[in-house]
Structure 1
Amino acid sequence: MTAPWRIVFDNLAAHYGPQHWWQEDQLGDWLMMVLVQQTNARNVALAMNNLQDVLSVDQLLALTPEELAERIRPARFYLQKTAHLRGLLTWFKEAGGDFAAFSARPADQLRNQLLALPGIGPETADVMLMYTFGKKTFVGDEYARRLSQRIGLGVYKTYAAMHDALQPFAETLTLNEARELHALIDEHGKPQIGYPYDDSFLTTPAVPADQ
């Protein structure tokens, strides 16, 4: 079941090259995983620019909710995201505030704790697990589900269904490969929305030279 996904990953990697998502700044990248919900990268960049002088957990929590909301206004839904960010950062600080210590926790425990926080759904939790806390996971987002259906590797109607089915495959990858797989699937899927084309070549052992 998972063997064809190795071919898909290898072909995507050869076709697009390394993506290097979420590897700039651990705290900053973590904030962006909340800010990017229901908006685009440009708006997130504007919001992050407004946070450059307060990029520590203590400084962010020292802002009033109103101050934080005003700074992240460009990211849209800023009142909701303010509450979500404050909940996330408060949880992190009260539990020790150390990324290395959090990363040492079992993945299932950490995932359940993230899911208990406001505004953190399964997809966001898995992205955080993988890019912030170094846990291998399969992100069964809309791009992944559409790709799977298009190339005949299964129809998954929900995030959980695909995540659960492909998590064993993610465990066979290195952490960097698991991170790259998610990034590559999304990079490949974005143009497919407006300009779909036949991408069945991804299931062949090697990408044809003319692709």
Structure 2
Amino acid sequence: MKLLKTDGIVIKKVDHSEADRSLTLFTKNFGKININISGIRKSKKRHLNGADLFGVSNFIFYKKEDYYILSSFELNETFFDLRKDLEKLNISFHILEILNSVLVENETRIGLYKLLLNSFRFLDKNNKPIKNYLLLGYFLLLLIQGEGIMFNINDGLYFDIENSIINDLPTFNKLTEIQKIIISNLFDKKINDIVSLDPSVDDAKSIILLLEDYMNYHLNLKINFKEFF
């Protein structure tokens, strides 16, 4: 029996029977995997936060037929401040929903793993709501790039989702000037330039909805920011 070892983040959990739990992990070395933990909810020897959502742990496990079985784990991070703030928590839940929709099992994506970890670290410490929503927009944009469905930004304020372009040809999705600036600066990773413009949270939310509509169209997803806010 070969033991496997990796850092991982819990992105989904399902409790069953009186003591068992199934976890979906996004791991650094093995990508998205499902793992079973027997007796975890009755165990006094294991730190339950390591087997809860947002928990970052070092996992040791083995594979039996088509299943991964946990041998042991050690908690590394748990993001206590994030868990105490409802708005941050909802943003984090939504990020997990998106990842569970996008990730393919056993596909290693180290860059995306690091992005998720850094996103939770940022949300855990940041106290400016607008930055939390901009973080979600930035996360979505990097996912769009990572999935190979990036759109072009030209002159004009119309977001043509079907043809992957912002230009001056009228479509249903017309941006405001500030919304286009937000998208352009997210694309260029200029978050502080966006904050200096003092955009509203509603402007940031509108960008999130547009980016999700874009992802839903091109990746055949059903992610919905409105379900969390």
Give the TM-score normalised by structure 1: 0.30
Greater C-alpha radius of gyration: 2
Greater share of strand residues, 1 or 2?
2
Greater share of helix residues, 1 or 2?
1
Give the TM-score normalised by structure 2: 0.28
Q: Which of the pair has the greater relative contact order for Cα pairs under 8 Å at 6+ separation?
A: 1
